[in-house]
Structure formats: C-alpha cells, structure tokens
Structure 1
Amino acid sequence: MARYHIETYGCTSNRGESRQIERQLRDGGHHPVDGPENADVAILNTCTVIEKTERNMLTRAKELDEETPGDLVITGCMALAQGEEFEQAGIDAEVLHWDDVPEHVRNGECPTTTPDADPILDGVIGILPIARGCMSDCSYCITKRATGKIDSPPVEENLKKARALVHAGAREIRITGQDTGVYGWDDGERKLHVLLERICEEIDGTFRVRVGMANPKGVHGIREELAAVFAEQEKVYNFLHAPVQSGSNDVLGDMRRQHNVEEFVEVVDTFDDHLDEWTLATDFIVGFPSETEDDYQQTLELLEETRPEKINITRFSKRPGTDAAEMKGHGGQIKKDRSSEMTDRKMSVVGAVYESMVGTEREILIVENGTDDSMVGYDQCHRKVAIPGAESDGVERGDFVTCRITGHNTVYALAELA
C-alpha cells in the first residue's frame, strides 16, 4: 500500500478531481502523509489558466521532483494541455490524465475500502463535479485542450453522488465543472435546473447548494427555468457565476465566447425578476489583443450596469497553441492600468453591497474557522460573513446561525450572533 502526497492548484473543479483521486486511492488502501518527503508517490494537480500560473507549476514540479524520494505524478490542466513542458524542463515524472492517476498508483491492486474513504472537503464542504469539458472554443483558452467537449454523466449518477456527500456530512455542496450551464448538452438537453431541483427535493437533510461557473451562453437558454429553481428551492444559494469577460461584442467575437453582451444582460435581468436578492459573480479579461480604448470603456459601463458582487479580473496573457497567442497584443503598462482602474471600480461596487447589509439579520451557514476566535460562513446569497468570538460561543462548522451584520471589510461582512 502506497503513502501519497497530493497538491492541487486552480479552480474548484480541479479540487473536485483531486478528491475523486484521493477517494479511489483510499478505497485501494493507500493513505495520505504529511509532506512529499514522506511519500511513496507525490501527485501534482496543475492549473494553466495564465502564463504566471504555468511558471509556478513548473517551479513547483521541479521542487517536488527533488523533495520526493518516490515517484512524481503530474496531472491536471497543464499536464494535459502542455505535458511536454515538464519533460523539456528536465522533470522526471509521469504525466497522466486525472482518471489514470489512481490506477497508476494502485499498480493493479484490488480496491480495499478503508474507513477514511469519505468524499468531504474541508469538513463540511462537498465538491460535486457534475461534468467534464465544455461546449466553447475560446480563442485564448488552453484548458480546452485538457478537458475536451462536455461529457455529462446522467442526472441519477450525480444525484447519487450528492446524496453520498450529504450522508457523509456535507452541509454545503459545491457543484463544479468547466461549464455547469451546458450540463446535459451532449445528450441533447441542458439539465442543470433538473439536477438542482432533484437534489433539493429528493435528498433529506439540511444543506445548501452552490452552482459553480456557468458560461452565459449555456445559462441563457435555460435562464427562466434556472432562475425559477433558485427562487423556489431554499437549499440553493442565490448565487450565479457567469463569466462575461468583456463588455464589447467585438472583443467577445474575437474571443469566440459564443454569447454577446445582450444575452448576458438578459440573464441578469431574468434573475433580477425572479429573486429579490442574489449575487452575480463574473470575470473580466482586460487587455485582450483586439481590445480598444472604446471596448474597454464598454466593459466598465457593463460593470456599472450589472453591478456584479464578485468580480475576477485577469490581465490577458498569451497561452501557447491558442489562436489569441498569434495576435499582436498590448504592452504591459496598458494592461496594468486597465486592470488597476477596473479593480478600483470593483472594490467600490463590492463595498457598497456589504455596506448595505449592515444592520440586517442573516442566517449563516458556518463552513470554516476564521482567524483567532472567529468563524466564517455564508448567507443565502453566498456572501461571506465573519463572526468574531463565535468559536468561544460554541459555534462549529456546519451550524446554521442567525446573526446581525455590524460592519464590513469591503469583501466580507462582520457580524455578531443574534
């Protein structure tokens, strides 16, 4: 039986892949150890979303190659999209698809279930990858080379996994995927809303469900159905992550994002119609090669119009093998200036949201320990709330508590138990 050490970088979906790898390893009788120096095999689950991340992955792979006395296995998006980079860097490792990692480590051994083979992440947060891949062909994205087209397991299979998570102790289920909005598309019908409704109505227990990244095009076709499920099912967080990337249709066309600005706004308007209060999360890429000053101003205008409460801002970086890498780009200063200005706008919008919460009472699901004696959780809109002193008051992860919002720190609220 092998001792393994695993490190995961990147998105929640990647973390879900690592949990699946770990569960299969534990089912095979293998067990985790602290630190690569104590492992028979070290596993690096990589990300490659931007150039800086790629450099960090190569650096960490070299370090693990030196620190691990046993084998090194590299998987994840960079491994699948740019596996040759590791060999060229002189790193001695097996580069494998996520699905192939457990079998490689097990080396043909028969699975033997062990008591610690549970699917829970961080105690009360369960990760549920509902599908792999997407239906997009973005000109700047290298991850597509790793994940391929959407591959959707049946609703019944994902329902079974969600039930297992709840029975194992999950109080928050995070539904993940490269694009959750197109779940079921490969079978001819988008089924995200169907899956959510069945999880909420057919699984007993007290828990919440958060929907992970869903591209606007996929959501647009089921926006009415999806928003209705959000409104009707209390177990679903009123939270949607729909990355628009630009406020200019010209740039979206060059990005091959499939949606346009009007469709994104229609999604937002539909959720506004169905929900009194909800969180819109989105992503913007600044400094795309074809982004003019006017295009950039349109993006700022879209930010102000839709007022997303969670915003990820990324400066464009060329990814090898993508079509956008062949385009003549902007200098670093332009990208830096635009990113800085947009970040200031972001902080203003987000800060205003948390300021509006002050004085209200909220039911919070506690999911993690904070600093010192505080506990951290989320309200119905998946807004982050820290409660100083809650640990001393006996609050534990997985508890639902009522609290009064007393202040904020721009990107999260502060509260006291009611």
Structure 2
Amino acid sequence: MEDIEDMFAGGAGGAPPGFRLPLNAVGVNPKRNTSKRSISKQKDEVTDSNRDSLAPPSMKIPGTQTIYIKTFGCSHNQASSANRQYWISDSEYMAGQLTAFGYGLTEVPEEADLWLINTCTVKSPSQSAMSTLITRGRSGKKPLVIAGCVPQGSRDLKELEGVSVVGVQQIDRVVEIVEETLKGHEVRLLNRKTLPALDLPKVRKNNFIEILPINVGCLGACTYCKTKHARGHLGSYTVESLVERVRTVISEGVKEIWLSSEDTGAYGRDIGVNLPILLNAIVKELPSDQSTMLRIGMTNPPFILEHLKEIAAVLRHPCVYTFLHVPVQSGSDAVLTAMNREYTSGEFRTVVDTLTELVPGMQIATDIICGFPGETDEDFSQTVGLIKDYKFAQVHISQFYPRPGTPAAKMKKVQSKIVKQRSRELTCVFEAFAPYTGMEGKEERIWITEIATDGVHLVGHTKGYIQVLVSGPESMLGTSAIARITSVGRWSVFGEVIETLASTNVVTQVREETKPACTSDVSTCETCACSAESCCGEGKSGEACNVSGDITRQDHKTGEKSMTKEEEKQEVVSHWGLVDKALVCGVFVSSLTILVLIISIASRVLLRQ
C-alpha cells in the first residue's frame, strides 16, 4: 500500500489544513484485519478493527464527542526545555483543530470518548508513563490515538498495536484520524513531504504565550538522541511565513513569543537563510512599547558560534529576553566526542563568555547528561568544574538513558549506582549556588503571563527571564509592571508591584491611521502620519511627536493615570456633551431675559416720574 499522501487527487498537494476527508477520499478501502501483521511493515493506512479497545462508545454525530488530550514532554520542569515546547505546541494545534470542528475537550479522562496521547521519545521515563496510560486506556475501553515522536521514531513498539497513530508532521490531519478512530478504525499516518501550516486553529495552553516552531528536525547526529529518528532532517519555515504568524499572534493579544526548535541555531540552513536574518525580521514587528516580548529557543553551540555578535545584538533589543538555553551536556571533550556533539568545551565557553560580555544581564541555561557511556571520574570532574566556573542559574541535570536504536545504546554503560551518585553530586553543587543574591530592593520591569503553581502568586519575568512571584488579581495577567524585589530564593525571587504599565500602542496605531498626510512643517508634526525621525528630527522625537509605543504609567494602588496639563484640558473638554451645552444655553437665555425685564421695569419707573 502506498502512503495516503501520495493517493490524493491532484498529487502531493493534499487537502487544505484541517479539512476532513471521508474514508474513500484518501483512496483506502476499509478491510477486516484478519491476520496479525508486524506494525513495522505497515505504512500509512486505515484498517477495520474488531478489538474492544477501539469499539466506538456510542453512535454520535462526528464532532460532538469529547476528547482528553495528554501531553508528555521532557522531564525538565523549566520552561526553557526546547523539546517540551514542541510537544506543547503540537498539542495546542491539535486541540485547536478539534475544537474548530466541534469536539469538546476535557481534563477528566473518564469523561472522554477518546484519548489523544502526545508522546515524547527523549527520555525513558516519559515513554514509560505513556505506556502506563495506554494500558489504562485499553482497560477502560477508550479509543486511543497516539501522536508525537514515539510512533514516528519507533513504529514497531508493542504498545502501539491496535491503536491509531499520527506522526509529528501529520498534526493537521488529526480531525480525520479522530473521526475514523471513533468509528472503530485503526489509522496510521506517519509519512509526509511538507511541513504543517503555521496558521492551523490553535488552543493555547496559555493565552498570552505563543510557542512558534521555526523548523523541525536538526542537522546534528548525536549518538544518544532519538528525536532525530522521529523528526528527521532539518526543515525550516520561511522567514515570510514566520513573520506573518508573529503579526497574527500579536493582534490576538499574545504577550510572549517563544521560538521553538530542536536547534534554533540551525534555522534556515536548508533554505538559504540563517537565524540572525529571521530574528531581525521578527523584532521589526514587535510593538515598540515592549508589550510583546520574544524569547529565543534552545540552540546548540556549533551554529551559534558563527553568529555570536549578531545574536548578541538581537538579545540587547528592548523587546527580546536576554536569556538563552545552550546545552553543553558535558565538560569533557572526550565525552563530547563520544556524543558526537561537534564542539569542544572550550567553544562552549566562548559562547558563554562572548554573550555575557556583549549582553548586559545575560542569563544562560544549560543541560548536563551524567553517566554517558565511557565517562570517567576525570571526565565528570571536568563537568563539575565547568558548572562551578559559571554558576548557571538553570542547569537541567539528567542521567543517561539508552534509547533503543541509537549508537549510544550499544556502548559500554557506566554502572547505574555511579550514574546516580554523579547526578546527586552535581545536583548538590548546582543547588548550592545563590544566583539572585543582591537583587533585594531593586526595581525591575516584569512581564506577567502565568499563575504560580501555588495558586496564590502571579508569575512575571524580568528581561533576563528571572522568575518573579508577585501578588495581585488575575486581571494583571498579560500586563507589564514595575516590581520591587523584596526577597530572593534559589529558583525565583519575590516582588511587589509598585506600578503597572498600560500600553497605548493599539490606541496610538488607530490614531495614526487617521492622521492627515505628512507635511514638512514641524509645527504640524503632532498630527501628521509621519514618523518622529522623518518629521521632527532626532531632537524632537520624544516631545512634539506622537510616536507609536507610548507607555502610560498607572499607579498600582490608586489606579489613576498620570496626565499632563494639556491632556487634562482635553479630558475636560471631551466630557462636554449635548446636555451640558443645552444647560449653558438655558442659563444664557435666562440671564438675558432677566436683564431685559430689569431694563423694562426701570424704564417704566422713569416714565412715571
């Protein structure tokens, strides 16, 4: 059987993103699965199934059922995990398409008519948790759809027998797959020749954060990595499509844009561009009032080395977080060679030193794998030395897990007890750092986008992406504020909001669209549609001109906006409505009438005399 994508009428173009195709439209005839076949021999197909686990719960109209979506990502808890961003973004796109076609979503598995499980193959614990959930779903006779890297990279897994699967580049077909699975069919969509569209419907996990994939796959060949097996070779979205997506999400009220990729630094090498070109194009679209911030995703050292100064310039931009996730994995060159990481520990140090020197307040997170095959005590000592030298505020420490099918899985392993011991030792070293000491009393601008796990505080981030926990109403989500740091902890700092910053960017944009054409008369610059630089000159850019991106500071306690005297006059005048004018006219007429009466009476008195 050929791949479904090759069987569409009209060639490889396929259906529009999210379009639901009937079973016969994809050129596949349902048939009874009368014999057991190895999943590894099956290509993308739809088959009938008599298994109880796939029996439809009830005959409902398609699009009216309820779906439970579970996302498994990396074991990293920190938001900087590039791989976790990918899985969250994929789940958001799938949820968006399902809700667009009428399906309901639930967080209670027992209430769902079907379970959609989005999987991760980076770490063994994530895959084990996936297997447990699949077993639980089978026991509950729930129709199952397994998405993500596990089915894409390990098609012959026993756990995937009898369930529908969708690959990492087939998420725009999720509606079809869910519908057919609810009918009792087993669907397999794993092969594709094009990237999914960026404008698919989306249900964001956080309404204020857009996770934007800029490419899939990577150019590396790390000996321990399974993700490459699933996501394949590098495939980059065009600069134009990404910039258009940025414009769209900003108009939707997004306050943070996270660029996501297996390796951000490798972006564009397959289409003749590079990361600095993309970043410079994106920052031009960001509101000048800093109401929407950009966060650059994880990048490995080899490719960023070529663009350090250009990347540093972008990181200094007011609308870009001065934060970067650069995995080192080991401080030993011998281990890095065995990992096939394509850089040395010295080159990693060059990346950190250069960015720290060129970018004020630069924050760098990194990753370490403890107990890689062949790692000696001396190798591990070099890793500990590297971490001690830089005292990173964020280090993602993991133990080596052999992934089936990778070269590292065949290498001689370090004893399990030694791996655990090294992991504990490095964790103790890392947790002894106090990276935020000295921040007490400082005032920092923060961007508030989340509710803390304690359910009490709101989470904001400084420009260096340091987590600041503040108290306040949920209405502050999506805003920016000035916070005074009151105390510091190991993982975050606490602060109090002393004033909020209300963006006037949207109002100013509407006002500028209605301005008359630009003139060369500087006296009219306040109302013309030209820019400050071209109309007023550099000296008047902050005075006479009304430039997009003004920020109105609003006192957090009183909620009153500060105004100039001219603005106060305009505010008073703007409140004169029709009733006010009528009252004034009435007073004037009455006064005139009284004056006439007085004159008339005086005249009569004089005549009598």
> Within 5 Å, which residues of 2 pair with 1:296-375?
296-349=380-433, 352-370=434-452, 371-375=454-458
Bigger shift: 50-59 or 254-263? 50-59
1:119 is displaced (CA, Å) by 5.2
CA separation in 1, counterparts of 2:280 and 2:138? 45
CA separation in 2, counterparts of 1:167 and 1:65? 43
2:92 and 2:202 in contact (8 A); partners too: no
1:249 maps to which of 333, 336, 347: 333
In structure 1, the residue corresponding to 2:437 is in which secondary structure? Answer: helix
Larger Rg: 2
CA separation in 1, counterparts of 2:391 and 2:331? 13
> Within 5 Å, which residues of 2 pair with 1:168-207?
168-190=252-274, 192-204=275-287, 206-207=291-292
1:99 maps to which of 169, 188, 192: 169
1:7 maps to which of 70, 82, 85: 70
1:177 and 1:212 in contact (8 A); partners too: yes
1:362 is displaced (CA, Å) by 0.9
Match of 1:380 in 2: 463
- Report the residue type matching 1:264 in the other structure: F
> Within 5 Å, which residues of 2 pair with 1:14-413?
14-67=87-140, 69=142, 71-85=143-157, 88-89=158-159, 92-106=162-176, 117-118=201-202, 120-190=204-274, 192-204=275-287, 206-231=291-316, 233-349=317-433, 352-370=434-452, 371-387=454-470, 389-391=471-473, 396-413=476-493
Runs of 4+ aligned residues of structure 1 deviating over 6 Å after TM superposition are none
Q: 1:134 to 1:104 in 2, by over 3 A?
A: same
1:416 maps to which of 496, 502, 514: 496
Number of equivalences: 402
2:71 and 2:119 in contact (8 A); partners too: yes
In structure 2, the residue corresponding to 1:166 is in which secondary structure? Answer: helix
CA separation in 1, counterparts of 2:85 and 2:218? 15
Instruction: Spell out, residue by residue over 1:282-309, the C-alpha distance to the aligned partner (whole angstroms, 9 max, x if none).
Output: 0000111111111111111111223322
Instruction: Spell out, residue by residue over 1:46-89, the C-alpha distance to the aligned partner (whole angstroms, 9 max, x if none).
Output: 012222222111111222333464x311111112112322xx23
CA separation in 2, counterparts of 1:127 and 1:274? 27
1:216 and 1:242 in contact (8 A); partners too: yes
Q: 1:353 to 1:33 in 2, by over 3 A?
A: same
1:107 is displaced (CA, Å) by 5.9
CA separation in 1, counterparts of 2:140 and 2:172? 21
- Report the residue type matching 2:280 in the other structure: E
In structure 1, the residue corresponding to 2:435 is in which secondary structure? Answer: helix
CA separation in 2, counterparts of 1:65 and 1:235? 48
1:403 and 1:417 in contact (8 A); partners too: yes
1:331 is displaced (CA, Å) by 1.2
Q: 1:57 to 1:177 in 2, by over 3 A?
A: same
1:25 is displaced (CA, Å) by 2.8
- Report the residue type matching 1:382 in the other structure: Y
CA separation in 2, counterparts of 1:83 and 1:59? 18
Instruction: Spell out, residue by residue over 1:168-226, the C-alpha distance to the aligned partner (whole angstroms, 9 max, x if none).
Output: 12101111111111110112332x22222222212447211111211111211111111
- Report the residue type matching 2:246 in the other structure: A
RMSD: 2.1
Identity %: 33
CA separation in 1, counterparts of 2:272 and 2:233? 14
| TM-score calculated relative to the size of structure 1 | 0.91
- Report the residue type matching 1:380 in the other structure: K
- Report the residue type matching 1:222 in the other structure: H
1:265 and 1:306 in contact (8 A); partners too: no
In structure 2, the residue corresponding to 1:49 is in which secondary structure? Answer: coil
Match of 1:112 in 2: none
- Report the residue type matching 1:53 in the other structure: S
The higher relative CO (CA closer than 8 Å, separation ≥ 6) is in 1
Stretches of structure 2 lacking an aligned partner (at least 5 in a row) = 1-61, 74-83, 180-199, 499-609
Q: 1:46 to 1:284 in 2, by over 3 A?
A: same
Match of 2:599 in 1: none
1:345 is displaced (CA, Å) by 1.5
1:98 is displaced (CA, Å) by 2.9
| TM-score calculated relative to the size of structure 2 | 0.63
